[in-house]
Amino acid sequence: MQTQGELVTRLAAPGRGDTHCPYCALQCGMRLTGTAVEPRDFPTNLGGLCQKGWTAAEVLRTPSRLTTPLVRVDGELRAASWDTALDLVAAKLARLRDAHGADSVAVFGGGGLTNEKAYLLGKFARVALGTAQIDYNGRFCMSSAAAAGMRAFGLDRGMPFPIDDVARSEAVLLVGANPAETMPPFVQHLTGALIVVDPRRTATAERADLHLRPRPGTDLALALGILHAVVAEGHYRGDYAAERTTGFEAAWRLAAAWWPERVERVTGVAAGDQRRAAALLAGARTAHILTGRGTEQHSSGTDMVGAWINLALALGLPGTPGSGYGCLTGQGNGQGGREHGQKADQLPGYRKITDPGARSYVASVWGVPAESLPGAGRSAYELLDSLGREGGPRALMVFGSNILVSAPNAGHIAQRLSTVDFLVVADFVLSETAALADVVFPVTQWAEEGGTMTNLEGRVLLRTPAVSAPDGVRSDLELLRALAIRLGQPEHRFPADPETVFEELRSASRGGPADYSGITYSRLRAGDQLHWPVPTTDHPGTPRMFLTHFAHPDGRAHFTPVDYTGPTEPLDDEYPLLATTGRVLHHYQSGAQTRLVPELNAASPEAFVQVHPDTASRAGLTDRALARVTSRRGSTEAVVHYDPTMRLDTVFLPFHFPGAQRANLLTNPALDPHSRMPEFKVCAVRLESL
């Protein structure tokens, strides 16, 4: 894993008010002047911002901001002092732990937390609480790509190359991603021939030179068909495969049965278009394959991503200068959030919690016996599904997540949340999940706190406070420290200063796959561009990985045999349509932030169902009518939006809205066997008039 010498490794040192956008993993550079946002020239956004970024400061001054802890008394949330709330939570958690064991308390984190928060949260769960039951909403984000990357390359870094390489690429295959709406500044980097794989004619697909529109849930078959075309048309890079990979023959035995005409019958994508995609990629001197949530959020998501990686390997892209495979990370710190311990099966530095050596090393950094660390816990959906059940957690602590809107099969999860003995939420507003809590802690927002984030390129960024937090608000680090001390931990074990926490994170990650030990705040303040791994303080970072070898012990990338099985849920006369979910330009994730911004809310005020006019007509629906969309799990309400470009068998719903408009009341919690990712992106539904 080497760097490329020509990459500029230093930016202008950040100035006062310089920060990064609170939303997606592009982490656009911005500057706050008072409470006004200005774009800042940064490699990911090149001075651009989307509408969400431009209005980000509005969230800082929302009238609904929490500034005092809330404690539920006689069924109502009432203001309380910090000491009262902290004492109550610590006492309740200690009683539950003593009566029912450490795993009776669970922790749920978020992909928007800084590296320092993610690190300390994982340490708090495993040391202060002693519980194995910790996971985070990143399990719903890019866990399938992470699992596929580990399987293929021996290492997971979403984009193992800088964004500059995409800008110079002659051809890009973009699968299951709509950056024109989800991360608009990214689109300016798509300058070569663009192939988009998406069932919908999205704003990104409108820009494409070739738009492939598979039936939802059939991406894997499409990847096999394009791979078949690559080999059959003589584009297979046998020299690269022989020198740098292993396992092609086993993968090809399955792909050989998926000739493009057969794939056309399954996916609806013309065989000629499959061959054209293969030729465009093979004919480019530099090319990239980039995947997103659309091809990950399936019960076979790991294999789906693996099929696209197999295609990239057959074309000789990964580890080749100027080319590669990458995943477009969604959440702001989706990459760093899973590297440092808030994922059920991982310890800091992307170490496996089941590895005795990793357990021993991290325990030594934490100053605790290795045998005191719990093992792997439940994945996110399984954790939520186990709440209140026999042997499941009886208390849940939530940081940086709005479970009630974002979890699949949301009606069921709401019911599970209602059964817990004790729910604690840390948030800056009373989100839908916080409104159910027994205790709510008011915590700082992005511009009010320091810490590091790791963006979609694996670039570690330093956020410094740009504005002061309101009186009465504390950081998550201060909250975790105060609770840990009340639970009997020594004060030095849980620092609340971000730089002090990062210094410990550096030590805990040393020698791990995600090695941050050479990164310091002083280097980041000086403007160093540092992409992990950075094993020493004089190391320039690793913007481009795999140039000489992959991370498997044999140094090779591994093809993975994968075959198409299709979605887990069949269509029938009662549920004849396929529903898929996603984001829209004006909102982000569960909408807990963006729905607070009047400009964004006015532009997208309510849930809608995007549907072909003929499909709507068959259900007795007209444009702008109110519809009920029903799956085998529940129903949601949405306004009909005619779209003549939609497939006749498919409807689309955004997942940003609460209450009866929750798209995730419909979604299927069927889990990928490798990543434990739920099948958000396809479920069987029917349309009815309200």
pLDDT of residue 332: 87
How far is residue 338 from each of residues 165, 507, 521, measured CA to CA in Å? Answer: 25, 17, 21
Judge contact between 222 and 269, C-beta under 8 A: yes
H-run or E-run covering 197: strand 193-197
Q: Could you tell me if residue 217 is inside a domain?
A: yes
* Residue ranges with strand state E in 444-546: 451-454, 459-463, 530-531
In the predicted model, is pLDDT for residue 501 greater than 70?
yes
pLDDT of residue 33: 85
What pLDDT band is residue 5 in, cutting at 50, 70 and 90?
very low
3-state secondary structure 206-272: HHCCEEECCCCCCHHHHHHHHHHHHHHCCCCCHHHHHHHEECHHHHHHHHCCCCHHHHHHHHCCCHH
The answer to whether residues 107 and 148 belong to one domain is no
pLDDT of residue 508: 98
Q: Could you tell me if residue 38 is inside a domain?
A: no
Which residue, among 268, 256, 265, 254, has the nearest Cα to 228 in the 3D structure? 256
Q: Could you tell me if residue 644 is inside a domain?
A: yes
Q: What percentage of residues in the chain have a pLDDT greater than 90? A: 94
In the predicted model, is pLDDT for residue 3 greater than 60?
no
Can you tell me whether residue 480 is helix, strand or coil? Answer: helix
Integer distance in angstroms from the first to the last C-alpha of the chain?
58
Last-in-domain residue among 328, 357, 386: 328
The answer to whether residues 80 and 228 belong to one domain is no
Q: Which amino acid is at 247?
A: G
Look up residue 477 and give its two tokens.
């680090």
- Residue 582: half-sphere exposure toward Cβ, Cα within 13 Å: 28
- Residue-wise pLDDT for 202-257, tens only, equals 999 999 999 999 999 999 999 999 999 999 999 999 999 999 999 999 999 999 99
- Residue-wise pLDDT for 7-50, tens only, equals 445 676 666 688 999 999 999 999 998 778 999 999 999 999 99
In the predicted model, is pLDDT for residue 4 greater than 60?
no
Angle at 138 between CA 133 and CA 144, to 5 degrees: 105
H-run or E-run covering 609: strand 608-611
Categorise residue 678: left if φ over 0, alpha if ψ from -120 to 50, beta otherwise: beta
Q: Could you tell me if residue 123 is inside a domain?
A: yes
Q: What is the CATH number of the domain that holds 243?
A: 3.40.228.10
Q: What is the CATH number of the domain that holds 583?
A: 2.40.40.20
Which residues are CB-neighbours of 526 under 8 A, at least 6 positions away?
A: 10, 13
Which residue, among 152, 197, 195, 177, has the nearest Cα to 312 in the 3D structure? 152
Q: What is the CATH number of the domain that holds 362?
A: 3.40.50.740
The answer to whether residues 123 and 165 belong to one domain is no
Rounded to whole angstroms, the Cα distance separating 572 from 570 reads 7
The answer to whether residues 257 and 243 belong to one domain is yes
Can you tell me whether residue 17 is helix, strand or coil? Answer: coil
pLDDT of residue 15: 65
Concatenate the DSSP letters of all residues of 155-191 into one string.
S--S-SS-HHHHHT-SEEEEES--HHHHSGGGGGG--
The answer to whether residues 177 and 276 belong to one domain is yes
The answer to whether residues 397 and 480 belong to one domain is yes
pLDDT of residue 218: 97
- Residue-wise pLDDT for 655-687, tens only, equals 999 999 999 999 999 999 999 999 999 999 999
Last-in-domain residue among 295, 328, 361: 328
Judge contact between 170 and 558, C-beta under 8 A: no
Write the burial class of residue 433 (CB in 10 Å: 0-12 exposed, 13-18 middle, 19+ buried). buried
pLDDT of residue 405: 96
Q: What percentage of residues in the chain have a pLDDT greater than 70? A: 98
The answer to whether residues 147 and 293 belong to one domain is yes
pLDDT of residue 10: 62
H-run or E-run covering 221: helix 219-232
pLDDT of residue 82: 98
Rounded to whole angstroms, the Cα distance separating 485 from 483 reads 5
Rounded to whole angstroms, the Cα distance separating 405 from 530 reads 35
Rounded mean pLDDT of 397-416? Answer: 96
Rounded mean pLDDT of 169-180? Answer: 97
- Residue-wise pLDDT for 331-361, tens only, equals 989 999 989 999 999 999 999 999 999 999 9
H-run or E-run covering 71: strand 70-73
In the predicted model, is pLDDT for residue 542 greater than 50?
yes
The answer to whether residues 417 and 397 belong to one domain is yes
pLDDT of residue 455: 96
pLDDT of residue 1: 40
In the predicted model, is pLDDT for residue 327 greater than 60?
yes
Q: For the whole model, what pTM was predicted?
A: 0.96
Last-in-domain residue among 306, 328, 350: 328
pLDDT of residue 14: 66
Write the burial class of residue 388 (CB in 10 Å: 0-12 exposed, 13-18 middle, 19+ buried). middle
The answer to whether residues 94 and 153 belong to one domain is no
pLDDT of residue 142: 86
Q: Could you tell me if residue 133 is inside a domain?
A: yes
- Residue-wise pLDDT for 263-300, tens only, equals 999 999 999 999 999 999 999 999 999 999 999 999 99
Q: Could you tell me if residue 1 is inside a domain?
A: no
H-run or E-run covering 650: strand 650-654
In the predicted model, is pLDDT for residue 2 greater than 60?
no
In the predicted model, is pLDDT for residue 398 greater than 90?
yes
The neighbour count for residue 342, using CB atoms within 10 Å, is 33
- Residue-wise pLDDT for 563-572, tens only, equals 999 999 999 9
* Residue ranges with strand state E in 222-343: 245-246, 287-291, 324-327
Angle at 144 between CA 140 and CA 147, to 5 degrees: 130
The answer to whether residues 305 and 351 belong to one domain is no
Which residue, among 514, 540, 546, has the nearest Cα to 243 in the 3D structure? 546
Tally of residues, the chain: 690
Give how far the C-alpha of residue 588 lies from the chain's centroid of Cα atoms, to the nearest Å: 12
Q: How many structural domains does the chain have?
A: 3
Q: Worst-scoring range by mean pLDDT, 2-6, 79-83, 364-368, 624-628? A: 2-6
Rounded to whole angstroms, the Cα distance separating 79 from 85 reads 9
Q: Could you tell me if residue 529 is inside a domain?
A: no
Q: Which amino acid is at 535?
A: P
- Residue-wise pLDDT for 116-162, tens only, equals 999 999 999 999 999 999 999 999 988 999 999 999 999 999 999 99
The answer to whether residues 219 and 347 belong to one domain is no
The answer to whether residues 188 and 323 belong to one domain is yes
Which residue, among 396, 364, 357, has the nearest Cα to 380 in the 3D structure? 396
Judge contact between 508 and 152, C-beta under 8 A: no
- Residue-wise pLDDT for 69-99, tens only, equals 999 999 999 999 999 999 999 999 999 999 9
Q: Could you tell me if residue 3 is inside a domain?
A: no
Rounded mean pLDDT of 536-542? Answer: 97
Mean pLDDT of the chain, nearest integer: 95
pLDDT of residue 9: 53
Q: Containing domain of residue 408, as a range?
A: 70-140+333-446+470-496
- Residue-wise pLDDT for 597-629, tens only, equals 999 999 999 999 999 999 999 999 999 999 999
Rounded to whole angstroms, the Cα distance separating 439 from 295 reads 37
